[in-house]
Amino acid sequence: MRPLTIDLPAWLDEVVDRSRAYRSDEDRMGVAIDLSRENVLRDMGGPFGAAVFESESGRLVSVGTNLVVRHHNSALHAEMVALMLAERQVGSYTLAGTALPRHELVTSCDPCAMCLGAVLWSGVGRVVTGAMREDAVALGFDEGPVFAESYRYLERRGVAVVRGVSREESRGVLELYRSRGGEPYNG
């Protein structure tokens, strides 16, 4: 059977600086927001970006943007792309391996139901979000069956969650998407 090949835009590497450490949540969120903005400006798809960092060192491990429409693949949310690439990088299906430093996912918007589940299986120890669920919903995006209890489930499994970091800037990219005529592709 022909492999499932997901081509990744070359600019994903070009718009981020991998030579520096990202110390604060706001620094890390800046990467996710930059990615989300570039995704809009380059007409790649939904206004969402994400990145995986090593929590302690602040090293940038992987990045992702929403590639759903271009790639004919509804699973390619920014978080999924970033998590799959991080796992490829460490060579394991889990970022929680004993030989690995703690990892975290930083995403420009609250994850949808699919991505929230994926967070759990990825082995990241922390999630940081920018825009809130209601910001995405206001734009017409559906976030799926995510409830307060869903976040508590993650926390009980040892995944810390911090929401709404640089929320206004993240939301600004959602507005930019709308102002350019971008439609929610799964309305």
Q: Does 97 bind a second copy (CB under 8 A)?
A: no
Using CA atoms, how far residue 137 sits from 8, 18, 63, 141, in Å, is 27, 32, 24, 5
The two structure tokens encoding residue 96 = 């929680």
Binding status of residue 130 toward a second copy by CB under 8 A: no
Out of 15, 27, 58, 120, the only residue in the binding site for a second copy (CB under 8 A) is 120
Structure tokens of 11?
């600019």
Find out whether 56 and 21 touch, Cβ atoms under 8 Å.
no
Minimum Å distance from CB 163 to a second copy?
A: 15
Return the number of other C-beta atoms located less than 10 Å from residue 124's C-beta.
Answer: 27
Token digits for 179?
A: 């102002």
Does residue number 84 form part of the binding site for a second copy (CB under 8 A)?
yes
- 24 versus 94: smaller Cβ distance to a second copy: 94
CB atoms inside a 10 Å sphere around CB 149: 7
**Judged by CB, which is closer to a second copy: 32, or 81?**
81
Q: Is 186 in the site for a second copy (CB under 8 A)?
A: yes
List contacts with a second copy (CB under 8 A).
Answer: 1-10, 12-13, 68-69, 71-75, 80-81, 83-85, 87-88, 90-94, 112-118, 120-123, 142, 144-147, 149-150, 153-154, 157, 185-186
